[in-house]
Amino acid sequence: MNSALAPSQIWSRGHTWMTAAPHAGAALGLLRSVIGICSLAFYLEDYGNRRLLHGPEGYYGHELLSSYYERSSGWSIYLLSDSLVWFEFIFHAGILVSILIALGIGGRAALGLHFVLLWSLFMTNPMLLDGGDNLMMIVLPFLLLTRCFAHFRVHRQTWTPRWAKSQLGVVAHNTGLLLIAGQVCIVYLMAGLYKVQGQLWQDGTAIYYILRTPEFFWPGITEILFHFDWVIVLASYATVLTSVAFPVLVLFPAGRPIAVALMAAFHLAIGILMGLTSFALIMVAIDLLFVNQHVVRVARRIRRAISRRLTLAGFEAVPA
């Protein structure tokens, strides 16, 4: 008996999935919050040196950037004026909007403004970026399609725009989800296939040489890893295998937790050992889109634990 689905059945299932209800709402909310937190960290990390690194008279400066972007068709709202007052206003507006995004306040208007402000800041000094910036710039337009403010927010949602609850809104939400999921699958597949072609990855020594570079060397810790050369070799092969296998594993419900757990471990190791913190956190948050039910379950446990502690402390728990 042939168990393959007919094209009409595939279309019917796909249509139902796209139109029946918005999917992965909790994971999308978590992703939005992580982006807000990582953006805020970027603003505050070198806050004392902000004028030197991003200001109109700083490292690159208004004149040099304006000349460069006239030739390359780039843009940044920081370049609308060479006034230091304008710079400070836009920079601190970016901090405020990042906080709103992290807390789940402001909706799509705040998210769109966040994209403009963050892009503009990145363009004032591209040398400070670590890869997490590219992910945020790719993901944010897709998040605008979703109802990512429905979860992981500090306030109760009192109303939802009528269009967002309509079938068109549901389709837009699920389209944004698919675009983000598809993007991360492409990134993993292409990264894995690219690594396969490299001799160092074939030899299992690639991670050793990566950790030897000054930018990623952690004195006192990296040396310890070098004593376990078999771990580094296994990690190199596992990185390639997991990257290539990820897009296949997430096609099956049973394979999604395995794929996400493996990639989460990989990215957390990158964040700790190589210092690419924002990149690691955002990639983990994107991966969690494939296991939304686990995100919901963990969030409920955390909420209940907080409610119990508030009750024991004499405070009335606020319903989520």
Query: Which residue type, as a one-letter code, is found at position 225?
Result: L
Encoding tokens for residue 56?
């109109």
- The confidence score (pLDDT) of residue 160 equals 65
Q: What is the pLDDT of residues 136-195, one digit of tens each?
A: 899 999 999 999 998 888 877 656 666 667 888 899 999 999 999 999 999 999 999 998
DSSP assignment of 186-224, as one string? Answer: HHHHHHHHHHHT-HHHHHT-HHHHHHHSGGG--TTTHHH
Alpha helices in 55-198 (DSSP H): 61-72, 84-103, 107-122, 132-143, 162-165, 167-196
Residues 62-92: b if buried by 16+ CB within 10 A, e if exposed: beebbeeeeeeeeebbbbeeeeeebbeebbe
Residue 302: Cβ within 10 Å count: 10
- The confidence score (pLDDT) of residue 315 equals 58
Burial status of residue 115 (CB atoms within 10 A of its CB: 0-12, 13-18, 19 or more): buried
Check residue 159 and give left, alpha or beta (phi > 0: left; psi -120 to 50: alpha).
beta
In this predicted structure, which of 69-73, 107-111, 297-301 has the lowest mean pLDDT? 69-73
Q: Which residue in 13, 293, 21 sits closest to 147, CA to CA?
A: 21
Phi, psi (rounded to 5 degrees) for 23: -105, 155
The answer for residues whose C-beta is within 8 angstroms of residue 89's C-beta and 6 or more apart is none
Q: What is the pLDDT of residues 252-267, one digit of tens each?
A: 999 999 999 999 999 9
Residue 286: Cβ within 10 Å count: 26
Q: Distance between CA atoms of 185 and 191, rounded to whole angstroms? A: 10
Q: Distance between CA atoms of 151 and 147, rounded to whole angstroms? A: 9
